[in-house]
Structure 1
Amino acid sequence: MQDTNQKTSQLMEQILYEVKRIVVGQDKFLERVLVAILAQGHLLVEGVPGLAKTLTVKTLANTVTGDFKRIQFTPDLVPADLIGTRIYNQKTGEFSTSLGPVFTNMLLADEINRAPAKVQSALLEVMQERQVTIAGVTHKVPSPFLVMATQNPIETEGTYPLPEAQVDRFMMKVLVDYPTDEEEFVIVQRVTGPAVAVSAVATTEQLAVLQAECRKVYVDPSLVQYAVKLVSATRYPDKHGMKELAR
């Protein structure tokens, strides 16, 4: 068990090292991204434009071998652009299935709240069940499968609020803030200097093994009970002395 933990730690350090060759700062953000990956959860990243949200997610995806696809969400997208559709072949007189970009290991849903709720909801099934149903036929997505979505604050012009069912599919939401003056100085130096290439240091098979090991970690029942109480407090804040938060 100790050897496994050491290997896991070393692999995570290698991934972080590669990402930090490109991304400056944002340590808490990067830690939470790795937690989401190991826990097989999806991640929602929020921040104003220009904070390297997309760059961070894309760079992290490049450190793992396997398929990586990006969808730029826009107001004119339709659900078929995400999950795929049935196409009629006039020559053969038959229908064939064209699978969409969700059939990948790591999916970057860039600026997800730029598209209307109908398009956002097209991700519900694949995020929860890791499968897509097209014309009554179910298609499994590759494993491991992770959705990392970025969004701009809802106050930003041209954005749509995410449906509650969609928000519930994400394990965690990370808020990205502006870098410090020192970090911004380093950013300018890197942007104006030679381009740096990121190396893939982990395979999808290694990632799947790490995810399986995480499920073996012992969690004391008292800690689970505390987590349940926290969730309950968010649902019924007035019962826990937080009447100002009650709807």
Structure 2
Amino acid sequence: MTKAILITGCSRGIGLEFVKVYAQLGWQVYAIVRKSNPEFEKLVEKYSNIETITFDVTHFQAYEKLKKYFETKTIDVLINNAGIYGDQDQSIGNLNIDALQKVFMTNTFAPILMTQTVLDAILRGSTKTIVNITSRMGSIADNTSGQYYAYRSSKAALNAMMRSLQIDLQDKGVKVLVLHPGWVKTDMGGLNALIDTETSVKALYEVIEQAHKLPEMFYSYQKELLPW
């Protein structure tokens, strides 16, 4: 039976590379995009097993419609990938509520609400794996440089939510991971980043494949256990 994966934030960067990898492997790929682009459309034209879902993960009032769409479908792996960095200057004295809310809506609230929305489809799946692309910047123990208030705290909150989810769903055979993809050359990571999307996603794929054998939750793309 063909496995199915739901991925958010698929129009570019890490999400786009995830779509390519799983489409090449023959999975049924449900690709959520807020807005399409030529690079994503090129992939869709190449692989008939990609189904595009145009959906803004921060339009929370529309999640009920998405739930209905998946009520008879199966999802083996969910990858909550959509995320934003927020304002470049996130130092104290330059914070405002609108900017903070925007980052939390995308990075924290959307992943847990997306998971809740399609949870029944995940429980019908064979691998029952929920993956969240986080950042080691969300580690409180690893924070030695400060600043980046919105981004750091949104990822720390995501990690905390997913820790609770892992505990709540462990008796149902569900594995929840929060994964740091590395400093990746994307629109968010910038040109000075250390690795490209292909390197990151290839390594992340291998971690996801071993998900149910991993004793903990918070890992880097190199399968390095990260502190909370």
What is the TM-score of this pair, normalised by structure 2?
0.32
What TM-score do the two structures reach when normalised by structure 1?
A: 0.30
